[in-house]
Structure 1
Amino acid sequence: MRIPIRFILNRAAFYLFTLWAAITINFLVPRMMKGDPVSAYMNKYRGQITPEAEHAIRTLFGLDRDTSLWEQYLDYWGLLLRGDLGRSFSNGLAPVGEVIAVALPWTVGLVGLATVLSFLIGTVLGAVVGWKRGSRADVIVPITTFFSTVPYFWLGLIAIAVFSSTLGWFPASHAYDKGAAPEFTIGFVGQVIAHGALPLLTILIASLGGWILGMRNMMLTVLDEDYITVAQAKGMPNRRVLWRYAARNAVLPQLSSFALSIGFIVSGTIVMELVFSYPGVGKMLLDATAAKDYPLMQGLFLIITLAVLCANILADIAHAVLDPRTRQSEG
């Protein structure tokens, strides 16, 4: 099916403006914070660095007092257009891209898998519970909602106490065994799965209730629509009415919520990484903020922003394909 050019241009203009605004805010916010990474570094190594070296470091990070904020902003854009995110002050001046690349796969692999599974399972269960409203299946909603209201760190600590300390089924922390080196072997993959099981199940349990409740409520609204009544009156099988008509329309708000949760995937969960001592960008972002590491903070925020924007673009495309009214409203 053809999507109108006007719809595409409108969405493209909106996302380009959003990207510009996000990058500009990403540049300004760290510089509005009290202090800077060079001053923190000077305090840490007081007396060991000459004034000339301090000036060279400030020039490298675009923080020298002779450079105006506007010039720093233009330099920042120039670096971005060349694909250079700068160098991490708190990681021995290593390239920010390389620093993020070490932690990002762990976060995306664990939190991404947990979020996708939670969305799929919760959406399917919510559709079934909504379709069978008034039946025993409704008991799923209060149970999963209860777990969603429990603070995440409590679920994590309970999971560690029961399944790690008491039963000994899973490791309590880290992404793999101490002393092991990351490598693509069956043994190492088994370690990663074992160490990731508890945090994955915890995220799944904590987020499942929201998806089930949201899909169930939308199903109750959709089932009152005339086209559902007509489809049933024509003698269509209930399974076809459920998935082809009711669930297809009820899932649209879920897609928007899922797109927003992509930022959660990339940023990781700081609490999860702290509770399970799991390596990832969430803990890295916390450390970068404490160290006032502007380049690393900006690089992480940029990755999160791009992930959210890309996810929203995909959600818009899905809306346009599933709901023709979206195309007509802007076409």
Structure 2
Amino acid sequence: MPYLLRKLGLLVFTLWVAVTLNFILPRLVPGDPIGAMLAKYQGKLDPQAVAALTQAYGLDQKDSVFAQYLTYLGDMLRGDFGRSIGQFPTPVSEIIAQAAPWTIGLVGLTTLLAFLIGSALGLYSAWRRGGVIADSLPPIALFLNSMPYFWFALLLLYLLAFRASLFPLSGNLDPFLTTFSSEWWSSMLRHAALPALTIVVTAAGGWLITMRNNVMSVMSEDYIAFARAKGLSERRLLNRYVLRNALLPSFTAFGMALGFVVGGSILTETVFSYPGLGLQLYNAVTNLDYPLMQAIFLFIALAVLLANFLVDALYALLDPRVRDGKTA
């Protein structure tokens, strides 16, 4: 319990730092939405129109930076992130509520699937090393893991969507469908198939290599040799000693991967025009949409911190040394 309380306190402090940086960093970005609009229209907007837009976008604040910071903290605690500049007057909370399920459903599930597939193949590759299939997996995994993600995504789009017309080229749903009907689910799965395949194929290779190295390291330990000398069966040796200890180092990386689901979805959703948080973040940066940028950055920070806290809790469950306070 003291271990988890320390981790919870660290989570709260880190979240406060992230919130503070989230307030500061967008204000350091050069330019503003009104300036970008003037550049687009070559400065031909009426000064009164510029003043009206500045007031509508909430960019005419005359309070001190500290007062703005306190107002920002209060609004954030109420779940009020303001109105989007690029999609004015839509509230930012509404945009996130619409986009988040698509990102979590697609990138979150495929990240978990890539971890499970890659770890299982990595365990097989290390445990059955010397076999043709087991020894051929690492070089294939290295190739897939080093392959440019966007190139593989564009290749799938060209071959399976453009040439073969097996999958849609972009989007997440066909229009005019009844929500959660059989046609809705079919359309959703067809639109998600190529992005999901891209994530699983390119990410599973890294998990395979990581798990294989972990298993090889565990198998070289003295307690494994002692367990073999005691005559333990291969199944018990694998399940009780090798797998449990080899998985522990991977959980930290997996927690980070889950936390960065939102940030890592930018390329996925941009290439496939998938309307999740990654695409919204890309649009917010290009439009200098400060409220939307701040909300999504905060969402990313919170996701990373919660994922790492869950991993720490899982460590405490799996590793008795952590529960007993013998290790950090």
Q: TM-score when scaled to structure 1?
A: 0.91
Show CA shifts across 1:111-133 (max 9, x none): 11111100011111111211122
Structure 2: how far apart are the matches of 1:158 and 1:40?
34
Q: Which residue pairs with 1:287 in the alignment? A: 283
Q: Which whole-Å deviations, capped at 9, do the CAs of 1:135-160 have from their partners, x for residues lacking one? A: 22121111121011111111112212
Residues 130-279 of structure 1 aligned to structure 2 (within 5 Å): 130-136=126-132, 137-177=134-174, 179-181=175-177, 183-279=179-275
Q: Which amino acid aligns with 2:278?
A: G
Report the counterpart of residue 62 of structure 2 in structure 1: 66
Stretches of structure 1 that go unaligned for 5 or more consecutive residues are none
- Give distance in 2, aligned partners of 1:190 and 1:55: 44
Contact 1:30–1:294 (8 Å) recurs in 2: yes
1:108 and 2:111 aligned: no
* Secondary structure, counterpart of 1:309 in structure 2: helix
- CA drift of 1:223 comes to 0.6
Query: Structure 1 residue 97: deviation in Å?
Result: 0.9
Which residue of structure 2 lines up, in the alignment, with residue 57 of structure 1?
Answer: 56
Equivalent-residue separation in structure 1 for 2:206 and 2:200 (angstroms): 11
Secondary structure class of the residue paired with 1:94: coil
Rate the CA distance shift 1:68–1:221 in 2: closer, same or farther, 3 A.
Answer: same
1:233-281 alpha-carbon deviations (Å, 9 max, x no partner): 3332212211221111111121111111123322342222222222111
Q: Distance in 2 between matches of 1:65 and 1:176?
A: 40
Q: Distance in 2 between matches of 1:161 and 1:51?
A: 44
Contact 1:88–1:94 (CA<8 Å) still a contact in 2? yes
Check 1:68–1:157 CA distance in 2 against 1; reply closer, same or farther (3 A cut). Answer: same
Matched, 1:118 2:114: yes
1:17 aligns with 2:16: no
**Does the 8 Å CA contact 2:86/2:289 hold for their aligned counterparts?**
yes
Change (3 A) 1:51 1:150: closer
Give the Å deviation of 1:184. Answer: 0.9
Which blocks of at least 5 consecutive residues in structure 2 are unaligned?
Answer: none
Residues 211 and 246 of structure 2 are in contact (CA less than 8 Å); yes or no, is this contact kept in structure 1? yes
After superposition, the C-alpha distances for 1:79-109 in whole angstroms (9 at most, x for unaligned) are 1111212211111222111011111111111
Summarize the Cα distance change of 1:49–1:101 in structure 2 as closer, same or farther, 3 Å threshold: farther
Structure 1: distance between partners of 2:260 and 2:180? 27
Q: 1:52 to 1:101 in 2, by over 3 A?
A: same
Q: Is the 8 A contact 1:38 1:57 kept in 2?
A: no
How many residues matched? 323
Which amino acid in 2 is paired with 1:299? A
2:99·2:275 contact (CA, 8 Å) conserved in 1? yes
Instruction: State the shift of 1:329 in Å.
Output: 3.2
Question: Which region of structure 1 is more displaced relative to structure 2, 166-175 or 144-153?
Answer: 166-175
Rounded Cα–Cα distance in structure 2 between residues aligned with 1:176 and 1:105: 14
Letter aligned with residue 207 of structure 1: A
Q: The residue matched to 1:91 in structure 2 has which SS? A: coil
For 2:243 and 2:83, the matched residues in 1 are separated by 48
1:46 Cα offset (Å): 2.0
Residue-by-residue CA offset, 1:175-200 (whole Å, 9 max, x unaligned): 122x3346111111001111111111
Aligned-pair identity (%):
44
**In the superposition, relative to structure 1, how do residues 161 and 53 fare at CA in structure 2: closer, same or farther (>3 Å)?**
closer
Closer, same or farther: CA 212–46 of 1 in aligned 2, 3 Å: same
Instruction: Name the residue aligned to 2:79.
Output: 83
Q: Distance in 2 between matches of 1:55 and 1:122?
A: 51
Q: Secondary structure at the match of 1:287?
A: helix
Give TM-score scaled by structure 2 length.
0.91
**Per the alignment, do residues 319 and 161 of structure 1 end up closer, same or farther by CA in structure 2, a change over 3 Å counting?**
same
- In structure 2, distance between residues paired with 1:158 and 1:51: 44
- Give the whole-Å Cα distance in 2 for the aligned partners of 1:37 and 1:95: 17
For residue 315 of structure 1, the aligned residue among 305, 311, 317 is: 311
